Amino acid sequence: AFHLCWPEMARHMLKPQLFSENKPIQTFVIPHSHMDVGWVYTIQESMHAYAANVYTTVTEELSKGKDRRFIAVEQEFFRLWWDTVATDSHKKQVRQLVKEGRLEFIIGGQVMHDEAVTDLDDEILQMTEGHGFLYETFGVRPQFSWHVDPFGASSTTPVLFALAGFNAHLISRIDYDLKDTMQKKKNLQFVWRGSPSLKEKQQIFTHTMDQFSYCTPSHLPFSNSSGFYWNGVALFPDPPKDGVYPNMSLPVTKETVHAYAQTMVENIKQRAAWFRTNHVLWPWGCDKQFYNSSVQFNNMDPLMKYINQNSKEFGVTVQYASLSEYFQAIYQSNLVWEVRGSEDFLPYSTEPYQAWTGFYASRNVLKGVARQASSQLHAAETLFTRYRISFPDGPVAKDWALDKLRALRWAVSEVQHHDGITGTESPKVADMYLQHLVQAMMGVEELLATLEQHVIVYNPLAWNITTIINVTVNFPNAAVFDDDGQPVPAQIQRSAQSNVTYDLFIVVDLGGLQHRKYSFKFSDNPCSGRSKYSRTYKAKGVLFERRRVQDRARTGRKLLPVLNECYKLMFDQDTNLLHSITYLEEKRRVRMTQDFWEYHANGDVKTGPISDNYIFSANGSAVRAYKAVEMEIIPGKIVSEIRQYFYREERDEDYAYSITTRIPECFGTRLRCHRLEQTYSLGPLRLNTEVVLRTSTALKNNRTLHTDDNGYQMMKRPYRKFTNNTLARNYFPMVRTAYIEDDLSRLVLVSDRAHGVSSQANGQLEVMLHRRLWNNLAWNLGYNLTLNDSSVVRPTLWMLLGSISATSRLYQREAVELQHRPVIMPIDQPQPRGSSPVRSVVLPPNLHLLSLNIPGWNYSSNHNVHLNHGLRSEPDYDRVLLRIIHLFEEGEDPELSKPVTINLKDVLQGIGEVKVLEERSLTGTWDITSLQRWKWKTADNSETSEKCGDKDFTVTISPKEIRTFFIHFSPKNF
C-alpha cells in the first residue's frame, strides 16, 4: 500500500542529478493502477467503488489514442470485470487493444502474491489459474512480472517466473539501506540465479525499482495537490455523483504545463542517474488510480507533447509504453549484467525501526485455513482426476465437479495476495478470505457423504506410506475394521482438545494415491477382554503435580523417560519441562527444553516504535510467559502423548498455553519413528503481546539459522548485528521448514502454516506462533488495520533430531507429508467388501507429485491454432496437467540428489494408459520446445544449455527441477 512506501521515498528527496551523456534520456511512461485484491476493502467494495471503472474507462480511453498504453496486473479484478461488467463492445475493444499490445497483461496470476509466507504449491496455482484464463480468452501469455508491493523478495519467485516462460522480473520493496547502496553503484538491475541447483538454466533479468517505488512522485512544488493524479483519490463506498473526487491535481494548461514538465523532467533525471542505460521506467499511477482515465490521459497527453517538443532543452523524451517495450529496450542495449546468486531480499526494512517481520506470524488462523484449503484442493484434484479417467461417464456430473474445484482454486489463489495470507488486511477483509475459503471447502466436501460409521482414508501422495491418523469420536470404546472385515490396530483416549470427545488413533498402510475403507463400531460400555473392542488399546494418563518456575534451581534430579525406536525423551519432574532428547541411532544426547515466551509491544506511537500487522518492534527481550507448568503423560501402544499446560499465574484455573507431543510407537520398521508431532494451543492473548515457542538446545549453531523460501529451497540465515532493531531484523519467514545445526546434530521443525522464526541465542530456535496488537497510529485506526486478534490458535509442528546426513534425507519429505496428510472422508454406503482396491501410483523417494489435475481450460496447446481459429466453449476434460518436482538440492545427499529417470507411462499405469505426453512451461501455456526465453549477457558468459527432448515417455528430472506435462489417457471401454 502506498503510505507504507513513504519512509522509503521521503528519505531520499535528493537534488536532481543531471545525466552526463548528450543523448536524451528515453523515458517509458507506464500507466498502471495498483489494485489490492483485498487489504482495506473487500473485493466487492473495491469493484463497486473503483475497480470496475478502471477497466471500463481505460478500455474506452485507449481506443481514442493510438499512443496510449496500460498494464493490467492483478487478474482477479479484470476477470470479474470481464465476466460481470464488460459489454460486448468493451470486449471487442479489449481484444483489439490486446492484439495491438497496448493493453498488456503483466504477471497474469490471479493476484500479486506475497513472497515471504506463501507456499510454492499456491504460488504456482494462482499463476496457473490466471494464465489459463488469459490464454483461453485472448491467446496471450504474460512474459514479465511487476512484483512491486510484496514486503521483501524471495529467490523462489524469479525461478517460478523463469519456469513459466518470463523474460524479465521486476521487484521494488527491498531494505532501504541496501537500495540506497544499489542506486549509488548503479546495480539495481542484474541477472538473478534464484536456485543454486538450477543456476543459469532458470536465471532471469531482474529490475529493482528505485526509491520512488511504483508510484508517481506525488509532491508538486507549485501546488498542494498530489502530482500527476488528475482523477484524485478513490472514494468508498460510492463514487461521487458529480465525478469530482478529493485531491484532484491542477489541470495541465498553458499556464501550468511548463511547471509540470520541469517537475517530471527533474524526477526523470534523478532516476536516470541510478541506472546504466539511457532508458528510464517512469511508473504513472499508484494505488486505486485510473478509475477516471479520460481525466488522466487528457492531462498527460499535452504534458508529454510539450516535453517532446522541447526535448533538446530538457534532454529528455517521453513515450507511453507497456512494460515489454521498456524491457525490450534494455535487452537491445546489449550490456553485460552482474549475476546475483540465490540469496533473497528478506527480511524487509523501510527505516531503522521498521522491520517488516511481524506479518510472518500475523493472523495465524487465516494462515492455517489457507494451507488446509490448499491441501484439501490437492487431494480433491487427484481424486477427481482418477475418477474421470476410470469412469468418464460415471454418475458424478463433471461440470458440477469442476465448478466446485474451480471455486476452491480461486479462493486459495485469492488469499495468496500480499495483503491476504500476510495477515496485513482489515478484519472485514480477513473475514472475507476465510468465508471464501470455507465455503469453497464445503463445496468440495459435497463430493463426500456424512455418516460417522464408515470412513475412506485417502493418501494424496505418490508414495507408499504407513502412518497414524487421528479421528475425533464421541464414544470411549471403539473397534476399527478394514474393508476385509479384519480388526485394525487402534488406540483411544480422552481428547487433548475437549473433555467430551475422544481421540481414536489408527495405523494405516496406504499405497500412493490409494484409498482404503474402514468401519467403526462404538460403545459406551467397556468391553470384555475377548470382544471386538479388545484390539483397540485404551490409553490412560498419569497427571504430574503442577510446578512453579522458581523451583528451577533443583532440576535434573527426577527424569522420566519416554522412548520409541528412534528417540529417548527425558522429562524433568522438577519443572514438568522437556530436559533432553537422545537420538538412539547414534546414541547422542542433546540437552533441550521447550517453553513459551512473550514479547511485549508498545501501543503508543508517541513513546517509540510500535508493532503492528506488518512490523515487529519489541519493547525489549522476551519474558517468560508462565509461572507454573502441569504435565500429563499418556503411554500408549500406538502413540504416547505428553501434554504440558502453562499457567500465567501459579494458581490460575485455566492454562494460557499448551504443548501436546505425540511420540509414535513403531510397528516393525514400517512406521516412521523419527517424527515427533507437536500441537500447541495459544490464546486468547493479552493485548500487545507476541508469543514464541522457544526451543533451547546445547547445539553450537552460533545463532545461524536455516529457513525455507516458499517451501522450495533452504536459505542460510547468519545472525547479523544492526545499530537499531537487531532483534526484529533477525526474524525470517518459515513457510514449511527451519533448522539449526552444529557439526554433530541438526534440529528440524516442519510446519503446517507460515510463522516467523529466529535464533536469538546460541542453540536457540524460536517460532513466533501468535500476535495480538493494538496501537494508536492514525493510519491504522483510520483503516482498521490494527491486529486485535483474540482467537485461540492450534498450529502443528513436527520435530526431527539427528545427524546432518540423516535429517537431510528426511526433512523435505516430512514437510510434504505434513502438508499432504491422509484425507479422512466419512461415507454413507460403503461398497461391498472385497472390491478390488485401486492400484497405487508410486514415485521414487526424491520425487514428489506436485500436481495431477484436470484444469478444464479449452485452449489449444498449439499457439497458432489458438490465435487463428475459434475455440469450442466446452471445458477440456481429457487434458490432465501433471507436475513433478525433485525435492533435493544438488550435492545435498549422495544418492537422493542424483537426477532421476522415470518412464511416465509405467509410473501412471495405476491410473490408466498414457496415450499422449507433451512437456509444457510451468503454468501450461507454452510448449516447452517452442519456448525461447531471452538470453541476457552476464560477466561469466555462461550459456544456458538447450534442453534435449526426452525419448517417448521417459523423462529425467534433475535436482530442484519442476517439470510440467499435459497427458492424455486412452479412453476406457466398459
Of 36, 114, 149, 572, which residue is the catalytic one? 149
Position 459 confidence tier, pLDDT thresholds 50, 70, 90: very high
Report the pLDDT averaged over residues 352-378: 97
Angle at 902 between CA 897 and CA 903, to 5 degrees: 175
Report the pLDDT averaged over residues 382-405: 91
Residue 904 scores a pLDDT above 50 = yes
Residue 969 scores a pLDDT above 50 = yes
Range of weakest confidence among 255-259, 831-835, 881-885 = 831-835
What per-residue confidence (pLDDT) applies to 668? 53
What's the CATH number for 458-538?
Answer: 2.60.40.1180
Residue 468 scores a pLDDT above 80 = yes
What per-residue confidence (pLDDT) applies to 558? 93
Start-to-end C-alpha separation, the chain: 57
Contacts of 264 (CB under 8 A, 6+ apart): 228, 282, 303, 307, 318
What per-residue confidence (pLDDT) applies to 679? 98
Residue 555 scores a pLDDT above 90 = no
| Sole residue written with cell 546432518 | 804
Please report the sign of the dihedral spanned by the C-alpha atoms of residue 424, residue 430, residue 434, residue 435: negative
Position 858 confidence tier, pLDDT thresholds 50, 70, 90: confident
- pLDDT tens digit string along 74-126? 899 999 999 999 999 999 999 999 999 999 999 999 999 999 999 999 999 99
| Sole residue written with cell 503483466 | 106
Position 21 confidence tier, pLDDT thresholds 50, 70, 90: low
What per-residue confidence (pLDDT) applies to 626? 98
The CATH class given to the 25-107+142-350 domain equals alpha beta
Report the pLDDT averaged over residues 850-871: 81
- pLDDT tens digit string along 756-770? 999 999 999 999 999
Position 945 confidence tier, pLDDT thresholds 50, 70, 90: low
- pLDDT tens digit string along 289-321? 999 999 999 999 999 999 999 999 999 999 999
Report the pLDDT averaged over residues 810-838: 80
- The rounded percent of the chain whose pLDDT value lies above 70 is 93
Which range, 164-173, 781-790, 937-946, is most confident? 164-173
Report the pLDDT averaged over residues 420-438: 98
What per-residue confidence (pLDDT) applies to 4? 38
What per-residue confidence (pLDDT) applies to 451? 41
What per-residue confidence (pLDDT) applies to 217? 86
- The rounded percent of the chain whose pLDDT value lies above 90 is 84
Query: At the topology level of CATH, where does 610-819 sit?
Result: Beta-galactosidase; Chain A, domain 5 (2.70.98)
* Amino acid residing at 600: H
What per-residue confidence (pLDDT) applies to 864? 79
* Amino acid residing at 458: Y
Instruction: Give the Cβ contact number of residue 934 at 10 Å.
Output: 13
637: phi then psi, degrees, rounded to nearest 5: -95, -20
- The grid coordinates of residue 445 equal 466436501
Position 6 confidence tier, pLDDT thresholds 50, 70, 90: very low
Report the pLDDT averaged over residues 622-639: 97
Position 669 confidence tier, pLDDT thresholds 50, 70, 90: low
Residue 569 scores a pLDDT above 60 = yes
What per-residue confidence (pLDDT) applies to 666? 73
Report the pLDDT averaged over residues 441-447: 87
What per-residue confidence (pLDDT) applies to 949? 61
149 part of the active site: yes
What per-residue confidence (pLDDT) applies to 533? 64
Whether 131 contacts 141, CB under 8 Å: yes
What per-residue confidence (pLDDT) applies to 17? 35
Nearest to 611 by CA among 602, 599, 598: 602
Q: Distance between CA atoms of 473 and 297, rounded to whole angstroms? A: 64
| Average pLDDT taken over every residue of the chain | 92
- pLDDT tens digit string along 704-726? 999 999 999 999 999 999 999 99
Q: Distance between CA atoms of 828 and 257, rounded to whole angstroms? A: 74
- pLDDT tens digit string along 486-544? 999 999 999 988 889 999 999 999 999 999 999 989 888 765 555 666 689 999 999 99
Q: Distance between CA atoms of 883 and 928, rounded to whole angstroms? A: 14
360-453+836-969: in CATH 2.60.40.1360: yes
- Structural domain boundaries in the chain: 25-107+142-350, 360-453+836-969, 458-538, 610-819
Q: Please determine whether the domains at 458-538 and 610-819 fall in the same fold group of CATH.
A: no
